[in-house]
């Protein structure tokens, strides 16, 4: 029986709960902290079980963590210690729709492996929404699937760069294909294909697309 996206992600979070990396900050979050202002409001877009949200809150930021998956949000709330709870708000939000936040509400928008599941039209809408909710001079940080991933091109092609893999649409970026989505609103600080995760490092994959940009 075919799973809905909600069922897919709730199942994924149950599986992730048994890994050793799910409760530690992502490699990307620890790396991008050097590019962030010392304080401010963070939108963690696609927060999963909240490991980066807790990392930023522990550094003194005020964090709003959003995710499509109910199971991810449930676990994120459950795992947040009382001393960080006053700095973090978690909400179930579908990134394929306009974000439920005011213009220029955040100093930082952070998205770790969550912005690559959409059509070209929705992807552009999402990046435009990231720009809308960021203050002028605010920072956008993205970690994205790469065309160098072993699974790239293995599923059913939906449109250029977007494939149906294991029942879920996945977009694969490169340092050449990402700029058209972000160059209008953001001045790039870092754009490369050197991103890693603990999960990918175990299989020798270290070519995820990293982007750090400043809102114009």
Residue 156 sits in a domain of what CATH number? 3.40.50.150
Reply yes or no on whether the pLDDT at 2 is more than 80: no
Count CB neighbours of 189 within 10 A.
Answer: 14
Rounded to whole angstroms, the Cα distance separating 64 from 46 reads 10
Q: What angle do CA 127, 133, 138 make, to 5 degrees?
A: 90
Q: What is each CA distance from 122 to 11, 37, 211, in whole angstroms?
A: 24, 29, 19
- Its domain, for residue 56, covers 5-215
Using CA atoms, how far apart are residues 110 and 212, in angstroms rounded to an integer?
9
> What mean pLDDT is predicted for residues 26-55?
97
Check whether 201 has a pLDDT greater than 80.
no
Number of domains in the chain: 1
Q: What distance in Å separates the CA atoms of residue 112 and residue 169, rounded to the nearest whole number?
A: 17
The continuous run of DSSP H or E covering 164 comes out as strand 162-165
CA 183/CA 187 separation, integer angstroms? 7
Residue with tokens 């991008």: 32
For residues 209 and 179, the answer to whether their CB atoms sit within 8 Å is no
Beta-strand relationship, 186-195 and 168-171: unpaired
What is the residue whose two structure tokens read 């492996």?
113
Q: What is the pLDDT of residues 100-117, one digit of tens each?
A: 999 999 999 999 999 999
Q: What local confidence, expressed as pLDDT, does residue 144 receive?
A: 97
* 3-class SS of residue 114: coil
Average per-residue pLDDT in the chain?
94
* pLDDT at site 177: 98
* SS3 state at 175: coil
pLDDT, residue 208, reads: 96
- Tell me how long the chain is: 216
Q: Which residue has the higher pLDDT, 206 or 49?
A: 49
pLDDT in tens, 133-171: 999 999 999 999 999 988 898 899 999 999 998 889 999
Side-chain half-sphere exposure of 206, counting CA atoms within 13 A = 5
How far is residue 8's CA from residue 164's CA, in Å, rounded to a whole number? 13
Give the three-state DSSP class for 200.
helix
């Amino acid at each position: 029986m075919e799973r809905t996206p909600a069922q897919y992600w709730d199942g994924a979070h149950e599986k992730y709960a048994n890994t050793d990396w799910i409760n530690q900050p992502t490699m990307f979050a620890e790396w991008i902290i050097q590019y962030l202002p010392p304080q401010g409001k963070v939108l963690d877009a696609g927060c999963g079980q909240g490991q980066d949200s807790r990392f930023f809150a522990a550094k003194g930021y005020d964090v709003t963590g959003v995710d499509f998956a109910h199971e991810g949000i449930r676990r994120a709330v459950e795992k947040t210690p009382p001393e960080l709870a006053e700095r973090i708000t978690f909400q179930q939000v579908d990134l394929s729709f306009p974000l439920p936040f005011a213009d220029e509400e955040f100093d930082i928008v952070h998205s770790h492996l969550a912005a690559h599941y959409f059509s070209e039209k929705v992807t552009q809408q999402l990046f435009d929404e990231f720009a809308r909710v960021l203050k002028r001079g605010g920072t956008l940080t993205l970690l994205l699937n790469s065309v160098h991933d072993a699974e790239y091109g293995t599923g059913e092609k939906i449109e250029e760069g977007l494939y149906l893999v294991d029942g879920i649409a996945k977009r694969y970026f490169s340092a050449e294909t990402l700029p058209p989505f972000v160059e209008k609103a953001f001045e790039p600080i870092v754009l490369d294909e050197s991103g890693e995760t603990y999960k990918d490092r175990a299989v020798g994959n270290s070519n995820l697309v990293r982007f750090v940009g400043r809102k114009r």
